[in-house]
Structure 1
Amino acid sequence: MTSITSNPPKKSLLRAFTSLRHRNYRLYWSGQIISLLGSYMQSIGQVWLVLELTHSAWQLGLVGALQAVPVLFFSLFGGVFADRWPKRNVLLCTQLSAMIQALLLWVLIATDTIQLWHLYILALLLGLTNSLGRPTGQAFVIEMVGREDLPNAVALNSMLSQMMRIVGPGLGGIIIAASGVPILFLLNGVSFLAVIVGLLLIKSHELHAQAPQVGSKSERKNTWQSLREGVDYVWNTPAVLLLILVVGLVLLFGSNFNVLLPLFATDVLHIGATGFGFLSAATGVGALLAALWLAWNNRQPTIRRVLVSTLILGALEVLFAVSGLYLLSIVLIASVGFMETDFAAQAMTALQTAAPDHLRGRVMSVQILFFDGSLPLGYLLMGWLSGLFGPARAMLIGALLCLLITAAGWIWHKAKGMRFP
């Protein structure tokens, strides 16, 4: 990365990678490339393993739920620990824990002693690890790059996630075909070494905006008091509350199109499995382009920009719901993927920027609860509406609700004249 200088040319493509000029973030991001690739490879390996053991769709859903549920119930407490301890140390512990879990799963498979209940426990433990690691990781970004480059760093994280989401499962499938499932879990376990080494090499004295650590015993708060302090801040800061509620609800009603795409492919557009594959790929391409655009732009978000993005998302989904043309639907769903990444990344950047240093982990944990927690509920809702009215009307209902929520947020924003603190 020596070609990235501290002042990249404004028109250069290198502008999209400007936050990599920070050594600490460069180490962390580079380690994440390998670690995320391993994690997404394992995700397909875990699905395949459950199918081999049970041949049950219900068991697939159950294992996935056991991994997701702890994030919803315990991420708030993860934010408390993120604010109480040095974030690099917390991340070292979570990454080491995840590595041990992956290697243990590999040993169980390689020795042919794996049983379904092992997967239940390890999925639950990984979910608990993520409930601590995710708010900590998000809150740690600003400490590595500072406020000026935060929009770029958040976008680069999103871009990396989108790329690995595309590459990881495909590579995992190739490895399963060539070598079997066990090697995926070994590779994932080893991949954590990259991010662990990166964290160990980070220089603490070069970090920005470090939250003050708890001092004397009289300053200490118990976990519940700390948790309430973070929730009270969100509740009593109108701009932060507006952003979390509006974006969380738009994600609930508008970011659940993935569950409807197979039905659009078969029942609405009549394009079969191949067409479904192109629809799915188009959303990923749109999301990746959005992340690149945000990284290149590196602009501080505002409430107005986030609301405009959610408004455009709702309008695009209305058009997709009523479109009966395959090529037009490809363009529209790619645009939906673009706008979903656009407003979500802007919202995360805005919340990290607005939150005080000593509360950032807890604010991020509330964001994870509302943003991530809305998605599985949205899948259930859209599945139910699709069963009642069909996929097109279900998506249209969700899109119209997004537009109503955005309009209400706009009125609230204008009435209060909200700005980020």
Structure 2
Amino acid sequence: MTSAAGVLASLRIRNFRLFATGQVASVAGTWMMVVAQDWLVLEMTGDSGTALGIVTALQFTPILLFTLYGGRLADRYDKRALLTAANSAACVLALALAVLVLTDAVRLWWLYVFAFALGLVNAVEVPARMSFVSELVGAELLPNASALSAAYFNVARVVGPAAAGLLVSLLGTGWVMLLNAVSYLATVAALRRMDPGALHRTARTADRSGVGDGLRYLAGRRDLVIALSLVAVIAVAGMNFQLTLPLLAKTVFHADASSFGLVTTAFAAGSLTAAFSGTLRRSRPSARLVAGSAALFGVAETATGWAPTYPAALALLFLTGFATTHFAQAANHRVQMGSEPSYRGRVLALYTLILQGSTPLGAVLVAWLSEQAGARSGFVVGGLVSLGAAGVALVVGEGATVSGADTAVREKKGAKERGVAS
């Protein structure tokens, strides 16, 4: 298999091509919405980091509260149907907010309400989407498909903010929000055009186990616990970019709307590079690789906080974006490829809860820190804490993997289940 064919291997599968196409449109719309929403909040509040932190916290609080139940839904019910319903609901919410903005009826508290409502939808959509990838391509292509998913996500994150910065300047935030509403329809259309018979589904059983059973399963997997613990620390301390990026752009470098979008674009371009670099992965990442990528993230983020000029910040944000996705992808693959299929939805829901549900806590802490010590402090403190956590994980991880015999038994069992699924 040539390197190019290896990178794009999952795209040979029609269902995955449909899924990826719909997601590119939807995610681009979502990132356009993020830029428009953040710009609107800062305009309405006189560049208040606290207000932006509240919006961010409200959007991610439902993930903290409900995503484990969303993972249980993904394990028990048809993921394609769940994703169709979730994207349809997100479309309605985005459309309603766009109408309020275009008619000048929007108030700050409405932005709070819609942020929380979208978070409720994401609590169901994210674990269903992440676990649905394995049904689209099967076990053998799962690492490639997961990496390609990160790649198209970051393609959209490059295109979306850049387009949003231009469109906000030309048309205003309301029209950008309307485009986001339309973008969800691309995902719904792609899901409905798929061939259900070509999905790699696990055999339906009478299993009525719940969230608690998933947590007990995880408690017996020290290798997964260490990876998830590292994700938790870095997510809270370092991955608050929805808050730190706009504050850095607007309050440190005094960027206009177009330059504001370029900050997110530089970060996303680095993330895209990392995503493509992971498409050839065929095996489960080691604990050392996950911790090493976390250390790279800590160094890059700290350096970004000290960037002396706007061009230097863009270059360092590219590196930070690369390190962010490299770490998140390595941790995701270690968790997903190490989980038994019958628990995968719940395990990935916990991964999502940690990665995104911790954002309310991180957003509040970073918002307070930024108000007290300036926008740069969010990057510097987050990077140093992340670097320290990576060091601890490197030390603890040496003796914390599952024993060789136990690992072999689990992998053999997982391979057997995946074989039945395909």
Superposition deviation, residue 337 in structure 1: 2.2
Quick one: structure 1 residues 364 and 266, their matched pair in 2 at CA, closer, same or farther if it must change by over 3 Å?
closer
Superposition pairs of residues 247-286 of structure 1, within 5 angstroms: 247-256=231-240, 273=255, 281-286=265-270
Matched-pair contact (CA < 8 Å) for 1:66–1:124: yes
User: What is the one-letter code of the residue matched to 1:90?
Assistant: L
The separation in 1 between residues aligned to 2:208 and 2:171, in whole angstroms, is 52
Secondary structure in structure 2 of the residue aligned to 1:416: coil
Matched-pair contact (CA < 8 Å) for 1:310–1:402: yes
Aligned length: 402
In structure 1, stretches of 5+ residues that fail to align are: 1-8
Could you tell me which residue of structure 2 aligns to residue 151 of structure 1?
A: 143
The answer to whether structure 1 residue 409 and structure 2 residue 397 are counterparts is: no
Quick one: structure 1 residues 51 and 383, their matched pair in 2 at CA, closer, same or farther if it must change by over 3 Å?
closer
Could you tell me which residue of structure 2 aligns to residue 368 of structure 1?
A: 352
Matched-pair contact (CA < 8 Å) for 2:71–2:345: yes
The separation in 2 between residues aligned to 1:387 and 1:181, in whole angstroms, is 26
- Percent identity reads 34
Superposition deviation, residue 73 in structure 1: 1.2
The answer to whether structure 1 residue 186 and structure 2 residue 186 are counterparts is: no
Superposition pairs of residues 140-179 of structure 1, within 5 angstroms: 140-179=132-171
The separation in 2 between residues aligned to 1:418 and 1:335, in whole angstroms, is 33
Could you tell me which residue of structure 1 aligns to residue 71 of structure 2?
A: 79
Could you tell me which residue of structure 1 aligns to residue 123 of structure 2?
A: 131
Matched-pair contact (CA < 8 Å) for 2:16–2:136: yes
Could you tell me which residue of structure 2 aligns to residue 103 of structure 1?
A: 95
Superposition pairs of residues 191-270 of structure 1, within 5 angstroms: 191-208=183-200, 210-215=201-206, 219-221=207-209, 226-256=210-240
Normalising by structure 2, what TM-score? 0.81
Quick one: structure 1 residues 417 and 319, their matched pair in 2 at CA, closer, same or farther if it must change by over 3 Å?
same
Could you tell me which residue of structure 2 aligns to residue 30 of structure 1?
A: 21
The separation in 1 between residues aligned to 2:314 and 2:33, in whole angstroms, is 29
Matched-pair contact (CA < 8 Å) for 2:148–2:275: yes
In structure 2, stretches of 5+ residues that fail to align are: 411-422
Matched-pair contact (CA < 8 Å) for 2:22–2:188: yes
Normalising by structure 1, what TM-score? 0.81
Equivalent residue in structure 1 for 2:34, among 38, 43, 46: 43
Matched-pair contact (CA < 8 Å) for 1:17–1:296: no
Superposition deviation, residue 406 in structure 1: 2.4
Matched-pair contact (CA < 8 Å) for 1:212–1:358: no
Higher alpha-carbon deviation: 380-389 or 367-376:
380-389
Superposition deviation, residue 305 in structure 1: 1.5
The separation in 2 between residues aligned to 1:193 and 1:393, in whole angstroms, is 39
Quick one: structure 1 residues 378 and 68, their matched pair in 2 at CA, closer, same or farther if it must change by over 3 Å?
closer
User: What is the one-letter code of the residue matched to 1:416?
Assistant: A
The separation in 2 between residues aligned to 1:121 and 1:137, in whole angstroms, is 24
**Alignment deviations for residues 288-312 of structure 1 (CA, whole Å, 9 cap, x no partner):** 2111211245554222221221233
Superposition deviation, residue 334 in structure 1: 2.9
Quick one: structure 1 residues 401 and 112, their matched pair in 2 at CA, closer, same or farther if it must change by over 3 Å?
closer
The answer to whether structure 1 residue 94 and structure 2 residue 97 are counterparts is: no
Superposition deviation, residue 416 in structure 1: 3.5
User: What is the one-letter code of the residue matched to 2:221?
Assistant: T
Higher alpha-carbon deviation: 137-146 or 196-205:
196-205
**Alignment deviations for residues 332-388 of structure 1 (CA, whole Å, 9 cap, x no partner):** 543332122101011112222222222111111111111123444344445555677
Higher alpha-carbon deviation: 161-170 or 23-32:
161-170
The separation in 2 between residues aligned to 1:276 and 1:51, in whole angstroms, is 12
The separation in 2 between residues aligned to 1:28 and 1:397, in whole angstroms, is 38
Q: CA RMSD in A?
A: 3.6
The separation in 2 between residues aligned to 1:279 and 1:90, in whole angstroms, is 34
Could you tell me which residue of structure 2 aligns to residue 418 of structure 1?
A: 402
Higher alpha-carbon deviation: 169-178 or 198-207:
169-178
The answer to whether structure 1 residue 340 and structure 2 residue 339 are counterparts is: no
The separation in 2 between residues aligned to 1:55 and 1:326, in whole angstroms, is 22
**Alignment deviations for residues 255-276 of structure 1 (CA, whole Å, 9 cap, x no partner):** 3478667888899xx9765999
Give the number of the structure whose alpha-carbon radius of gyration is greater. 1
Superposition deviation, residue 192 in structure 1: 1.8
Superposition deviation, residue 55 in structure 1: 6.1
The separation in 1 between residues aligned to 2:294 and 2:17, in whole angstroms, is 31
The answer to whether structure 1 residue 289 and structure 2 residue 277 are counterparts is: no
The separation in 1 between residues aligned to 2:64 and 2:13, in whole angstroms, is 32
The separation in 1 between residues aligned to 2:311 and 2:43, in whole angstroms, is 37
